[in-house]
Structure 1
Amino acid sequence: MSVRLPPHSHCLNCEEPVPEGEQYCSEKCMVESKVKQKQSSVRNKLFYVIAAVALVLLWLFTFVL
C-alpha cells in the first residue's frame, strides 16, 4: 500500500523536499547555490581562456617558430 505525498519539489541545493513552486528550503541553501553557480561560471571561463592560450601557443610553436 503506497502513501500519497502532498505535491512538492526538491531544493536545488540539498535535494530536501520543499513546498511545490519553491526552489530552496532555506536562505542558506539559496546563498550556497548562488556561490556554487558563480564558482562554476568562473571555472568555465578560466578553462576557455587557458584552452585559447594553449591553442595560440601551439600555433606559434608549430608554424611561426
Structure 2
Amino acid sequence: MDLTASPLTINEYIETGCNVLEITPRDIIFHRLTGTAPVHLLLAPNWCSGKWNGLIERTS
C-alpha cells in the first residue's frame, strides 16, 4: 500500500474549496478558507508562501 501524498496545487485547492462551498448549507459560516505560516515553518505547499498573489491572479 502506497501511503505517500503530495500537496494540492493552487488550482486543485481552489477547485476543492469551490466544490465544498457549493454543497455547504447556506446557514453555515466559514471563518477561514486558508491560513498562513512563516516561510521557515511552512512544509508544503510552496504556493502558500505567496498565495495571495496567486489567488488574486486567478480571480482577476
Structure 2-normalised TM-score?
A: 0.34
Q: Which has the larger radius of gyration?
A: 1
Higher strand share: 1
Task: Flag the structure with higher helix content.
Answer: 1
Q: TM-score normalised to the size of structure 1?
A: 0.31
